[in-house]
Amino acid sequence: TVRLWNVETGKVIKTLATFPAAVYGLDFSSDGKQIAIAGADNTVRILNVNDGQTIREFDGPEHAVYTVAFSPDGSRIAAAGMGVGSERQVYLWSRDSSQPTAILQGHDDDIYRTEFNSSGKRLMTIGYSGSLRIWDTESGKQLFEQNSGIVSYSGSFSPDASKIVITSNDRTARLITLPASAR
């Protein structure tokens, strides 16, 4: 179930939707009018925040989706999650089409985090076993790879996209400086 809460009162403002399986990830569009949802039912959806209606459901994923992200301008969506064997896929869509515009491959671990940098030209993906990838969103080319070997759950770009912070299960946050070619 997706609910919006008033953080001051602790009360539910609105219930947007209830799905047949767990919701693993979500992200607001930069204007706050839409929310992207990633689910255990292999789906990625965009909902209208005002009325909770599904605007679009995206095609592609065949396994649970853990993470979803809007690009800064709201024109693209990235999502990823589980896979089988040695390949996990990262899906990119135009917000206006249900068909993927690109499918990025390179992770061999389940992907827990996707995030666009502030320009929308780079996409960060973080895998369960500590694999970090930076992708060029236009070409789909992988620009940077680092493997920490430690279970990692999340990460975020610095505002200038020169660094990434990653959180791990060893109770640490790692600050990684990206080479100029991956910024």
pLDDT in tens, 73-105: 999 999 999 988 777 899 999 999 999 999 999
Q: What does the pLDDT read at residue 142?
A: 96
Under-50 pLDDT residues of the chain: none
Q: What does the pLDDT read at residue 148?
A: 87
Q: Give buried/exposed letters for 46-69 (b at 16+ CB in 10 A, else e).
A: bbebeeeeeebebebbeebbbbbb
Classified as helix, coil or strand, 181 is helix
Full-model pTM: 0.92
DSSP class of residue 179? P
Spell out the alpha helix ranges (H) of 25-118: none
